Amino acid sequence: MTAIDAASLTALLDGRYAGVREDVRTSLIERADFLDEVEELPRPEYRERVREMLLDVSATGLTGLGFPKEYGGGGDVGASIAAFEEMAGGDLSLLVKSGVQFGLFGGAILQLGTARHHDAYLEDVVAGRLLGCFAMTEHGHGSNVAAVATVATYDPATQEFVIETTREDAYKDYIGNAACHGELAVVFAQLVVGGEERGVHAFVVPIRVDGAPAPGVRIADDGPKMGLNGVDNGRLWFSGVRVPRTSLLNRFADVTEAGEYVSEIESAGRRFFTMLGTLVQGRVSVGGAAIRASEVALTIAVRYALRRRQFEASADAEESLLLDYGQHQRRLMPLVARTYALRFAQEVVRDDLHDVFSGVTTSEHARRELESRAAGTKALATWHATRTIQECREACGGAGYLAANRFGALKADTDVFTTFEGDNTVLLQLVAKGLLTGYSSEFEEMDQLDLVRFVAGLAVETVLERTAVHKLLERVRDVVPIAGEREPDILDADYHLAMLRFREEHMLAGVARRLQSGMKAGGEPGAVFSTVQDHVIGVARAHVERLIHEAFREKVRGLPSGPVREVLDVLCDLSALSVIEADRAWFMEHGRLSSERSKAITAEVNRLCRDLRPHARLLVDGFGVPEELLRAEDLIG
């Protein structure tokens, strides 16, 4: 394999937003001392320093790239995601506070509000002069947003909404910027107009006036957390809080001065999911940040493994480098390959998001597919980060446990990524719903019970025909023969993709059959769904695994011949075979992998790791993590 150039890999990974990413890296390098400074700060001081740093970074314009230019932004949604991803190379409390301020709070005003809200708030939000919160999650209804118990009742006599926390467990919880710094909150509440419930809507509500809680607002601090202690998460209660009628973010629904509820979207369910769909940017951002954190961890661990010697390979030799050991290669190289795969999958999601939110793509089907793909990629990327950071810490031994070597902060600060912006298991159920319904017009209306009834009323073939994977069924069957018959080349790219497609389609058909049989047997929809829930999550995961691999393979196929393509071809093979190997029990159970073939795949994964060993440093250097942000001098020199 020809030697490769790390700068070429960085340019490929940075893609169309290379300039933005370089600007963020420069900004982080200029503020690299912040990583050392906050290491031992008490929590109150840490929060204040993060606030100060947020204002400092916002002055560069890098945090406002996704907002319209007329409000001081950059007018480029894709660029804003790329900038956020790159910021994850620095302090993650700063990253998350930035995400709360500009992605969630500012993003909600931008996406759910209209000109009256944009003109009133956005310029100050983008400049960091107005800090705010995104108050959706409630203590009693974390993931079930449709059931939040905060209520906003319209009072026609005063043309105001009255915001009320209606029960003990209905307080807003885990709200970033709430404990110390937020002045306004976008509050999600059940709207009641003329005694009629209209579902969840969003309102701009003052929570502080001159630094003190606003009248009727009670604020509490969530206290110390596992990580991200530079973010002031808090709790909010509302008691008779009155806000003007114009405080309703009214892009999708409004209340007139006369007290009439109006909306162009007749269905309450569709209106709710349309509203939530505009907030998908948060999931895309978190997935990208998790991938960047994985790159930081892998850069440290691989460089340490190329420097640290331990035990002699023979009596007359010096101790061997850690990465010369087969098991150490096994620990790290598949994770490097998977991280590259996720970077290219994230690129697809980011570009789709840009096209949908910029109006390049206007179809409802494309928007639903974006929501599903964003949910699935976020889930697998954040789980990958949790696994990768832990493996990298262990691969650096006791030295990796020192705070100066970054793993402590990376572990603690990214752990919550698996459950915020959507719990990963719940997100995979959203992915499965899209597969089972084919993102049909009924998609947004369905809860779990409706989904069971819907699928039970279809033929299995109908469910399959709704998926893109089904169109390639016959080719899949040709390339993936019965185990022990005609065995394709282990490194055949069509074989890798066909195996992943076969698994996805087989699992999807199995879920549909189990849902149908459960209903035919007289089961209640809720009980039937619960029985097959593990299968539902399995098919969603299989689907996203296939999308990730396709993104990697398509990126490689689009490259010109040369050393970069050569090494990425090997990485892509390693990524695909690692996925198949990890689920070989399933493939063997379903007659698509013989025991001999399974052993051969394991041997091939080992060989690919050895082949990539000479390129390990260049592969992690390709991630482009600035030296100043790695910190781990004792580990990497």
Tell whether 295 and 366 lie within a shared domain. yes
* Catalytic-labelled residue, pool 86, 421, 444, 545: 421
Domain CATH number, residue 74: 1.10.540.10
Residue 488 has pLDDT above 80, yes or no: no
- Which element (helix H / strand E) includes 261? strand 261-262
Residue 176 lies in a domain: yes
Q: Please report which confidence band the pLDDT of residue 311 belongs to, taking 50, 70 and 90 as the band edges.
A: confident
- Between 127-136, 472-481, 555-564, 607-616, the lowest mean confidence (pLDDT) is in 472-481
Question: Rounded to an integer, what distance in angstroms lies between the CA atom of residue 467 and that of residue 471?
Answer: 8
Question: Rounded to an integer, what distance in angstroms lies between the CA atom of residue 184 and that of residue 162?
Answer: 16
Residue 1 lies in a domain: no
Give the domain-ending residue among 92, 109, 127. Answer: 127
In tens, the pLDDT along 334-358 reads 999 999 999 999 999 999 999 999 8
Tell whether 395 and 296 lie within a shared domain. yes
Three-state secondary-structure class, residue 471: helix
Question: Beta partners for 244?
Answer: 160
**Mean pLDDT, rounded, for 566-594:** 95
Tell whether 27 and 94 lie within a shared domain. yes
Residue 224 has pLDDT above 90, yes or no: yes
pLDDT of residue 471: 58
* Cα dihedral 337→340→345→349 (10° resolution): 150
Give the domain-ending residue among 236, 264, 292. Answer: 264
Tell whether 368 and 463 lie within a shared domain. yes
Residue 150 lies in a domain: yes
Place of tokens 């990697």: 552
Give the domain-ending residue among 105, 127, 149. Answer: 127
Residue 269 lies in a domain: no
Which residue did the predictor score with more confidence, 411 or 311? Answer: 411
Question: Rounded to an integer, what distance in angstroms lies between the CA atom of residue 514 and that of residue 495?
Answer: 28
pLDDT of residue 454: 86
Tell whether 35 and 82 lie within a shared domain. yes
Q: Which residues contact 3 (CB under 8 A, 6 or more apart)?
A: 563, 615, 618
**Mean pLDDT, rounded, for 136-143:** 86
- Between 179-193, 241-255, 299-313, 567-581, the lowest mean confidence (pLDDT) is in 299-313
Closest CA to 466 of 389, 378, 543, 377: 543
**Catalytic residue status for 421:** yes
Number of domains in the chain: 3
pLDDT of residue 442: 66
Domain carrying residue 233: 132-264
Question: Rounded to an integer, what distance in angstroms lies between the CA atom of residue 480 and that of residue 586?
Answer: 14
Tell whether 43 and 12 lie within a shared domain. yes
Whether 400 and 394 have beta carbons less than 8 Å apart is answered as: yes
Question: Average pLDDT of the chain?
Answer: 92
pLDDT of residue 365: 85
In tens, the pLDDT along 287-306 reads 999 999 999 999 999 999 99
Tell whether 83 and 197 lie within a shared domain. no
Residue 93 lies in a domain: yes
Tell whether 453 and 522 lie within a shared domain. yes
Tell whether 120 and 258 lie within a shared domain. no
Tell whether 408 and 544 lie within a shared domain. yes
Tell whether 545 and 612 lie within a shared domain. yes
Whether 413 and 227 have beta carbons less than 8 Å apart is answered as: yes
Using left for φ > 0, alpha for ψ between -120 and 50, and beta otherwise, residue 134 falls in beta
Tell whether 25 and 173 lie within a shared domain. no
Residue 1 has pLDDT above 60, yes or no: no
pLDDT of residue 361: 86
Residue 114 has pLDDT above 80, yes or no: yes
**Mean pLDDT, rounded, for 394-398:** 94
Domain CATH number, residue 170: 2.40.110.10
- What is the side-by-side strand order in the sheet with 234-238? 172-175, 234-238, 217-221
